[in-house]
Structure 1
């Protein structure tokens, strides 16, 4: 090992040498290389340390091997100069990088002779499930250290060399402390082994709770309220989805509560703190350094100003403010928000990797800005507001977004405002669910959904960041500043990490905000250029599926303006006297509330109840009446857009099918449009009179995709290439069964399902020639 060089101020931790000289001939293993800091670390090693071999621990991802993933990484923009110099990504990988395929905590055997491990991988979400946080941040860490020691242990059980383990933690392992945080072990007596065991056991406990009859009954009833009309299997699928989401939510809650009960902000900082304690325990016989960055954001200089991968801590909040969707924030205006550019963090990590701490005496380094270049939340707000005032997001018809004026009223006031808004939204949504279907109702529902999205965003981020926004931590960075002072003069341009050298106006308003908003602006411009282009309402003139595809249409509310009660009255009232007509309408109206309750519960039962009223009707006479008198009236209720779409499908060679719960006689005028019509068949007695029953169950809900799958199997149809059109949430199973689902003037539930599934939503206008209350008369 290189010896330290004595200086007037004492021994230099870098021996007076450049970093490339300190790390020359060494193999440095980096974990988390597909992450933000890990990617930058790999780039820095390959760029600035030409005589250092990089090894990377990376897991497979589905069919992509570890090598495949690193090749993809090396094809990114920041590696372009390195690729060009090496002759390509594969050449660069083969010459400079060793790929070790593995995962945390299942770390494979490491190559012999690893000199330095930089462990930057870890669960960086603030609110992961508790078992996941312990698995990655504690078990993964100890497994990696054990493999590092094994790789450097000879046959006799002694170390062949003293590797240096560099652990990337976070400054916020200090937890809910206040005041000065030294660069040292945090004082606590938490047993990380016992906490890890308990954290992992929570998965089984909560899974078991999720399967109890009480819990399942509650989840099933929630699913039924939303999906009852669609069918039992849809309800069952949604129940299981809710159960899994409940398990995850409870594991997150368990982590948060356990962390706060012991003095930490969240399970992320809690498990990272216990990871530090595990490092001190497991790595007692080797060299250990712990690097604690604060809030890591985009680069100041390298690989270029503003470089960032993905959205980190501040970006969602900055973007939400710029869109006018963050009315307040529960921050103390004078609290320090400790932001540090990622290139400063990476530079510090490599400098730390080049040091030689004493065996068994971990060194700690804070990479932060608050000690010498403090930025308060009020200052941050001012810079972000100034940026968006000068460079607003392009708005819609109403122009640029209105930027909220923050008053910093305190966390309690923000919580009251959010809670009141959430309650108001819940009431409005409940009222809207009872409103009749209309364009206005759908427009109001879309507005409510946007509000719901904003409220959910605010709830999530205010809950996550509330304590960080009011923290009173002061991170001492004496060790880090001393290490920076030991840098060779020739390394200052490439490896500087003194966070006092930049000003926040330049960084935030000219570097960071432009960098994070640029891709959002490009996406917004692309959306404006494309407009609301359909995703499943495809141009049929370009469709090549031909006879291998179906086009399936629902009737009522989709291609035709009517309902089964109105249809019954069409067939029944013309044969009655005026008084008898009024009496029959009165009887139907008295039954209407019961019919509606039945329909909300089960569409099939509703249809059976209505069709009982056909009892005694002469089926042949009914068909003649429809053919002679009702056909023009029925055809006048068809949407011209729907008719054109059906014909376009036929022109494309698709088999057109009408599936409806309407009684078959009423579909007779539609036969020329469709290749197949599947409708409800009225049962008759020996005299040809309707019994009031059907010949079989009506094809509704989950019966429709079952029929479609059978038809597809027997006719060589590819449902993935097929189309379906419907207006009601009860048709969700049918729409889900095909590759191209289209919601037509949908009810609110289906509109929301269409948005979630990225289905097209179309409005097929229907303007009947006659009033809804005009009865069809005999044709001359």
Structure 2
């Protein structure tokens, strides 16, 4: 008796079934599945719930085939190795057998089943091979083959000088020095300026110090041999590439990674649409000209899901999913509004328009709304192109790789962390029992590389979504975050301009706008030396008012996230880890469930902020 694994993916709607062959029985299975007893005609019916991932089948030895029977109305639409799609046979089921041209040979890797109405991507049966535990269906060592995939590949990365893209580039070059070329798209006036930005923003960046130590005096030559700067702009057709570079990249590139984004919550509508919506469209148009392309990978955000409540699943956005929303109409509206004012349109007018449109259709702000429309455009244009979309939540400093605590600029929660540490913010408008969904940058990068290797060169077009998020697997509650901040700054306070330690009280969390506003005035008056009736000098009062308005703006722009009731399911990302062997799990770890938030916030993130953002500067009262 031999056993074989049958792995099931993308199981929607909640239930599907298939028939095992006559002599096959289920010996074990995962999640909600339970081994079934034999039923009519000596077959086994396995009802597959949407949480199930693996079924293990056992059957007598046979020379060259493994067979199974699908449920009624199911058809084989694609398969690998020696398999060929079979036509429907008796009882309206599909039988994969030698006599029907569908023998499952030892070399076969996958069978893709389609349900009625042409939903051919709803069930995939992967990895019919000797069972030895939950092993991978692609590589003999049980791993995804991340390093193997990266070797010799040519990449084209947009947003390459941004925070996350740099962590990604560093990881690729450090773990796989024999990676092929990495074309990095840089917005610059000419090639010389692009090369200078590459040197300044990437090659000389502190993030790459481990690579600098590894390669020593050959570091710069190594980096220049791998990183090829190209002038371009995602807002333009063919992403603004010179015709010669466009031709070269189109014939060489294996993977396109779109990391370009405008992340300002209340950006001008026309500016945000150009980068976050039209950018993916322009890049997808170029991708279709790439003859060797194995994968289009989009770096998105988990918050493209809008203001949904409860558990939010890893599902794609398709054109028409949101009633009355038409992406082309929104693009036209943004640019028509800008042109209508004949150059006299104010930035605030365009900012207000973006926020109005976002809220009308159920999104928090212009940033996540335009990113969501970018995903819709990708789905509309992708055709037969394999696509992976990585949706991180709030990306913060690196946890482990290449070293703990590296961060560049103020990320989402960092202004609050730093203002509090400097004594400038002692309370905030937030749901005390709400969850702040945070993920370290290196966790996002590792998940990205795993997804890339998993889906690069997939035998059939697919749209794969991964939430890299912590709110379901390992939630960090605002109350706990506030306690961790107080604990850190109490034991390691910032210093004021005179070198005196700044003592901070416990952070007060308010769920009322009025109470928070009153608190800001009282706190600002105390720090600025005003009396309760504010009868001090106009200069001090102006300073006080400016501080209050800044903090009220911060609370206003963060309000949709501070009171967000959605939780991002990460089952796809968790399932991806199951394909990794032990070596890959050590090198490309991204298990958010295992993050110790006390350690990360207190010993990694805040020290990283103080080192790389504050750069040791003293606080200013």
Question: Under a length normalisation based on structure 1, what TM-score does the superposition of the two structures give?
Answer: 0.56
Partner residue of 1:352?
A: 451
Q: 1:331 to 1:423 in 2, by over 3 A?
A: closer
Q: Is the 8 A contact 2:524 2:548 kept in 1?
A: no
Partner residue of 1:126?
A: 265
Deviation digits for residues 661-716 of structure 1 (CA, Å, limit 9, x no counterpart) = xxxxxxxxxxxxxxxxxxxxxxxxxxxxxxxxxxxxxxxxxxxxxxxxxxxxxxxx
Q: 1:403 to 1:252 in 2, by over 3 A?
A: same
Q: Is the 8 A contact 1:71 1:93 kept in 2?
A: no
Partner residue of 2:35?
A: none
- Give 1:490 shift: 1.4
Deviation digits for residues 216-250 of structure 1 (CA, Å, limit 9, x no counterpart) = xxxxxxxxxxxxxxxxxxxxxxxxxxxxxxx1122
Deviation digits for residues 554-594 of structure 1 (CA, Å, limit 9, x no counterpart) = xxxxxxxxxxxxxxxxxxxxxxxxxxxxxxxxxxxxxxxxx
Give the counterpart of 1:332 among 419, 426, 431: 431
Q: Is the 8 A contact 1:335 1:472 kept in 2?
A: yes
Partner residue of 1:181?
A: 312
Q: Is the 8 A contact 2:432 2:510 kept in 1?
A: no
Counterpart mapping for 1:542-561 below 5 A: none
Q: 1:317 to 1:527 in 2, by over 3 A?
A: closer
Unaligned runs of 5+ in 2: 1-79, 82-108, 111-126
Q: Is the 8 A contact 2:494 2:618 kept in 1?
A: no
Q: Is the 8 A contact 1:206 1:250 kept in 2?
A: no
**Separation in 1, partners of 2:523, 2:162:** 35
Q: 1:359 to 1:67 in 2, by over 3 A?
A: farther
Give the counterpart of 1:191 among 293, 304, 326: 326
**1:308 and 2:401 aligned:** no
Partner residue of 2:567?
A: 474
**Separation in 1, partners of 2:553, 2:339:** 26
Deviates more, 1:103-112 or 1:463-472: 103-112
Counterpart mapping for 1:81-96 below 5 A: 81-83=210-212, 85=215, 87-88=217-218, 90-96=220-226
Partner residue of 2:601?
A: 508
Partner residue of 1:24?
A: 151
Q: Is the 8 A contact 2:191 2:230 kept in 1?
A: no
Give the counterpart of 1:393 among 474, 481, 494: 494
Partner residue of 1:69?
A: 197
> For 2:428, what is the secondary structure of its paired residue?
coil
Give the counterpart of 1:101 among 219, 231, 236: 231
**1:203 and 2:338 aligned:** yes
**Separation in 2, partners of 1:480, 1:361:** 16
**Separation in 1, partners of 2:342, 2:563:** 35
**Separation in 1, partners of 2:312, 2:484:** 27
Deviation digits for residues 94-118 of structure 1 (CA, Å, limit 9, x no counterpart) = 3212222211122122341211111
- Give 1:293 shift: 0.1
**Separation in 2, partners of 1:423, 1:302:** 39
Deviation digits for residues 45-90 of structure 1 (CA, Å, limit 9, x no counterpart) = 1111223222211121689522221122212223244346274454
**Separation in 2, partners of 1:303, 1:6:** 37
- Give 1:207 shift: 5.2
Q: 1:248 to 1:401 in 2, by over 3 A?
A: same
Aligned length in residues: 470
Q: Is the 8 A contact 1:371 1:474 kept in 2?
A: yes
**1:365 and 2:466 aligned:** yes
Q: Is the 8 A contact 2:431 2:509 kept in 1?
A: yes
> For 2:311, what is the secondary structure of its paired residue?
strand
Q: 1:452 to 1:518 in 2, by over 3 A?
A: farther
- Give 1:400 shift: 3.5
**Separation in 2, partners of 1:300, 1:409:** 30
RMSD over aligned Cα atoms: 3.1
**Separation in 1, partners of 2:311, 2:459:** 25
Deviation digits for residues 136-184 of structure 1 (CA, Å, limit 9, x no counterpart) = 00111111111121132xxxxxxxx453001010000111111111000
Deviation digits for residues 188-241 of structure 1 (CA, Å, limit 9, x no counterpart) = 24211111111222222355665xxxxxxxxxxxxxxxxxxxxxxxxxxxxxxx
Partner residue of 2:172?
A: 45
- Give 1:10 shift: 8.0
Q: Is the 8 A contact 2:472 2:567 kept in 1?
A: yes
Counterpart mapping for 1:700-719 below 5 A: none
> For 1:291, what is the secondary structure of its paired residue?
strand
Bigger fraction of residues in helix: 1
Q: Is the 8 A contact 2:482 2:506 kept in 1?
A: no
- Which structure has the larger Rg over C-alpha atoms? 1
**Separation in 2, partners of 1:527, 1:63:** 41
Unaligned runs of 5+ in 1: 153-160, 211-246, 430-434, 436-440, 529-780
**1:465 and 2:558 aligned:** yes
Partner residue of 2:509?
A: 408
Partner residue of 1:151?
A: 290
Deviates more, 1:358-367 or 1:276-285: 358-367
**Separation in 2, partners of 1:248, 1:418:** 31
**Separation in 2, partners of 1:419, 1:68:** 44
Counterpart mapping for 1:442-591 below 5 A: 444-519=537-612, 522-525=615-618
**Separation in 1, partners of 2:352, 2:183:** 37
- Give 1:464 shift: 1.1
Q: Is the 8 A contact 2:407 2:612 kept in 1?
A: no
Q: 1:527 to 1:312 in 2, by over 3 A?
A: closer
Q: Is the 8 A contact 2:155 2:253 kept in 1?
A: yes
> For 2:509, what is the secondary structure of its paired residue?
coil
Q: 1:526 to 1:462 in 2, by over 3 A?
A: closer
> For 2:198, what is the secondary structure of its paired residue?
helix
> For 1:354, what is the secondary structure of its paired residue?
helix
Partner residue of 1:79?
A: 208
**1:263 and 2:362 aligned:** yes
Question: Under a length normalisation based on structure 2, what TM-score does the superposition of the two structures give?
Answer: 0.70
